[in-house]
Homo-oligomer: A and B are copies of this chain.
Amino acid sequence: MQEGAQVIAGVQGAMSPQQLIGALVKKGELTDPASPRGRLLNAAARLFEQKGFSRTTVRDLAAEVGILSGSIFHHFSSKEQILCEVMKEVTIFASARMRSAVEQAASPQEKLRACIQSELEAIHERAVPGFSILVMEWRSLSDKSQKEVLLLRDEYEQIWLDAINSAHCPGGDATVVRRLMVGALSHTYSWFKVRENGLTIPELTDRAYQIFAPKI
């Protein structure tokens, strides 16, 4: 059993989101989504993403999980701490997801494409609920919390930078390219809808790849 899980973990791309979450929970890197704290974090991720951090009240959040607002502060010390914890867990999960997607890809070009698709899936599928919060609500965090999240964020960005460098994208150094790309991709949250019978995520990935990847 353990060995079987190891094998599956080796080909992580084949892991379902639930499997990946389970593995990360076991390692103690994520909060169990079935626990009271975990349910609060998931609900907060959804609400902060839908309505924005400052337009979400602790009463909204409490109602979402079926408790009273005061009870939230048995699990968290402040509303801002909830945002911080959400961002940290979202980052950890998105990193693990993208790393496994990149590992599955063979060529540098495919790795870059995997990054793009992984981030788009994180934003639009249920893959990583709350991912867009990372960009949209950054200013709602205190300086102290920003530093905490940034430590985890660096891992995530390093995967991107490696992919961009290896693929030899145009537009100068990888940092600038990545920053332009994170803007382009995260902004899709406000206009791209999966359900409409228009663009699909793989198609949108293609468009972005055509733009950012080197044209031969």
Binding site for B on A (CB under 8 A): 51-52, 54-55, 135, 138-140, 169-172, 176-177, 179-188, 190-192, 199, 204, 207-208, 210-212, 214-215
Residue among A172, A186, A215 with the highest chain B CB neighbour number at 10 A: A172
- Name the CB-closest residue of B to A170: B210
Whether the pair A185, B183 counts as a contact (CB closer than 8 A) is yes
Residues of B near A140 (CB, < 8 A) are 52
What distance in Å separates the Cβ of A202 from its nearest Cβ neighbour in chain B?
A: 13
Residue pairs across A and B with Cβ atoms less than 8 A apart, 21 shown, are: A51-B139, A52-B140, A138-B190, A169-B211, A170-B215, A171-B207, A171-B208, A171-B210, A171-B211, A177-B207, A177-B211, A179-B188, A180-B187, A180-B208, A180-B211, A181-B184, A182-B187, A183-B187, A184-B187, A186-B187, A211-B212
> How many copies altogether?
2
Q: Known: A211-B177, A212-B211. Is A186-B183 also a contact (CB below 8 A)? A: yes
B residues within 8 A CB of A172? Answer: 207, 210
Q: What is the CB-to-nearest-CB distance from A156 to chain B, in angstroms, rounded to a whole number?
A: 15
How far, in Å, is A115 (CB) from chain B's closest CB?
Answer: 15
Shortest CB-to-CB span from A149 to chain B, Å, is 14
Q: Is the CB of A199 within 8 A of B176?
A: yes
Q: Are B170 and A211 in contact (CB under 8 A)?
A: yes
Q: Which residue of B has the minimal Cβ distance to A172? A: B207
| Residue in B closest to A187 when the chains form the complex, CB atoms | B183
Q: How many angstroms from the CA of A179 to the CA of B208 in the assembled complex?
A: 11
A176-B207, A180-B184, A185-B183 known; A55 vs B52 contact (CB < 8 Å): no
